[in-house]
């Protein structure tokens, strides 16, 4: 096949069907048909990737992308969560700080290492006694300030807190999302082809939304654990921060201590914030993929049939970076609401509050600035994350396609 320089590469009919497949297939099938009304003869069909990429290969590509993303951008996720938690009233000042002045007045011979100030902070003392931290030493002023203070006060490894929960989150999410998406998409396409052909192009979008919602609901407890692991600071020197299971058990114990009837309803608290999470993820996906697809198509048309792994990587990472950044900025208020709901330690308030009430509370406390708390690290995280996920997936797909074409 002879192809001009600006022709869309033929191998890219192998559209991804995992990870971001729902949105990508939906955009490819419906949104970006340049105004054409879809007719039965133009209805979506199995793409080359559906034939060449089996479920194990899709899971490998999607899981590999999720693994890379979780490792690389986790510090930005920690910074975002800390800033949002601080705005919600989570204390980062150690208890010793409140009586450090009294300790300092005892004299220079008293040594209290637990109240020593981090070298990153300005400090002062009384009568030459042990230094004490000023309040601003424990207040985060921005993303870089979070990085600096967490590293000096808690250690560099703390920037990767919640990574194990993030990796644990990726595996079941992929395992639930891919099969549900494929089954629902095929069923909806078959049904609409016979009953309402004009709605057939929207089958992937509907299937993807439902599958994503199911995965989100099923994995919400892990997301809750990750948020809490990132938000809370361990004040006791040498103490190991709680892991995912210990965090979840702590959430349940707080409910059981206030409710003598330990029934199954107490486990509902593990799904705290799932409504805000769904409200965040659905528009995020819509904005992200509807922005990513035309950018990626435009870049790949410039490459044409001369596409190689490097150009595929660059085009997809660029499109993913831009789309992810825009979607993250637009959905930041819902992310703030999700974080605030999931870090709430008062069981009574947890049962009582809704996502709408949480947004109103955030608006009342901080206005527009409060609704967009942590937007810097959120955008900084989402851009590279989406870029890594989509570019890794596409490069794996391209490599598999090339290997099978040459064999």
Structure tokens at 168: 């644990």
Cα–Cα distance, 403 to 312 (Å, whole number): 16
Total-model pTM? 0.73
Q: Is 128 exposed, middle or buried (0-12, 13-18, 19+ CB in 10 A)?
A: exposed
CA angle (318, 319, 321) in 5-degree steps: 65
- Answer for the pair 323, 291: CB distance below 8 angstroms, yes or no: yes
For the four alpha carbons of 245, 250, 252 and 257, in that order, the dihedral sign comes to positive
H helices present in 131-162, as ranges: 143-154
* Closest among 294, 298, 311, 288 to 386, alpha carbons compared: 288
- Each residue's pLDDT expressed in tens, for the chain with a length of 407 residues: 444 444 555 545 444 433 444 344 433 333 333 333 333 333 343 433 444 566 677 667 777 777 887 888 889 999 999 999 999 888 877 765 544 444 444 444 344 444 445 555 555 544 444 445 677 778 898 999 999 988 988 889 889 988 888 888 876 776 777 678 778 888 998 999 999 888 888 887 788 788 878 888 988 999 999 999 888 877 665 567 777 888 888 888 776 655 555 566 677 888 888 998 898 888 888 788 778 878 988 998 887 766 677 888 899 999 999 999 999 999 999 999 999 998 887 777 777 788 899 999 999 999 999 999 999 999 999 999 889 888 887 788 778 777 777 76
Return the SS3 of 299: helix
Rg (CA), the chain: 25
Domains delineated in the chain: 10-92+139-406 (1.50.40.10)
* Closest among 142, 163, 281, 168 to 230, alpha carbons compared: 163
Residue located via tokens 């629902």: 184
- Answer for the pair 280, 358: CB distance below 8 angstroms, yes or no: no
- Answer for the pair 86, 105: CB distance below 8 angstroms, yes or no: no
DSSP 44-63: ----HHHHH--HHHHHHHHH
């Amino acid at each position: 096949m002879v192809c001009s320089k600006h022709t869309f590469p033929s191998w890219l009919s192998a559209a991804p069907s995992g990870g971001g497949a729902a949105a990508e297939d939906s955009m490819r099938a419906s949104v970006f048909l340049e105004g054409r009304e879809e007719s039965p003869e133009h209805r979506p069909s199995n793409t080359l990737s559906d034939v060449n990429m089996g479920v194990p290969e899709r899971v490998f590509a999607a899981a590999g992308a999720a693994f890379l993303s979780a490792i690389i951008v986790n510090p930005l996720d920690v910074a975002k969560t800390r800033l949002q938690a601080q705005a919600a009233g989570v204390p980062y000042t150690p208890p010793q700080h409140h009586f450090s002045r009294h300790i300092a007045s005892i004299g220079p011979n008293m040594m209290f290492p637990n109240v020593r100030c981090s070298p990153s902070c300005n400090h002062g003392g009384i009568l030459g006694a042990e230094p004490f931290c000023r309040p601003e030493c424990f207040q985060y002023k921005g993303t870089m300030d979070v990085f600096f203070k967490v590293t000096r006060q808690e250690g560099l490894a703390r920037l990767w807190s919640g990574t194990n929960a993030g990796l644990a989150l990726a595996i079941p999410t992929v395992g639930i999302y891919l099969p549900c998406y494929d089954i629902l998409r095929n069923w909806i396409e078959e049904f609409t082809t016979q009953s309402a052909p004009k709605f057939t192009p929207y089958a992937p979008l509907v299937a993807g939304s439902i599958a994503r919602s199911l995965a989100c609901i099923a994995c919400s407890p892990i997301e809750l654990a990750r948020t809490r692991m990132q938000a809370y600071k361990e004040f006791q020197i040498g103490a190991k921060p709680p892991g995912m299971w210990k965090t979840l058990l702590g959430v349940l114990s707080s409910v059981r201590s206030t409710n003598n009837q330990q029934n199954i309803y107490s486990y509902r608290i593990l799904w705290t914030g799932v409504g805000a999470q769904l409200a965040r993820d659905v528009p995020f996906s819509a904005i992200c993929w509807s922005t990513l697809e035309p950018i990626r198509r435009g870049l790949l048309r410039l490459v044409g049939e001369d596409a190689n792994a490097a150009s595929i990587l660059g085009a997809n990472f660029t499109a993913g970076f831009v789309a992810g950044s825009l979607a993250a900025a637009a959905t930041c208020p819902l992310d703030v609401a999700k974080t605030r709901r999931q870090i709430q330690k008062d069981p009574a308030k947890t049962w009582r509050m809704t996502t709408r009430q949480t947004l109103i509370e955030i608006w009342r406390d901080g206005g527009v600035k409060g609704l967009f708390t942590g937007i810097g690290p959120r955008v900084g995280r989402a851009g590279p994350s989406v870029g890594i996920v989509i570019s890794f997936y596409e490069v794996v797909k391209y490599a598999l396609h090339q290997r099978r074409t040459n064999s």
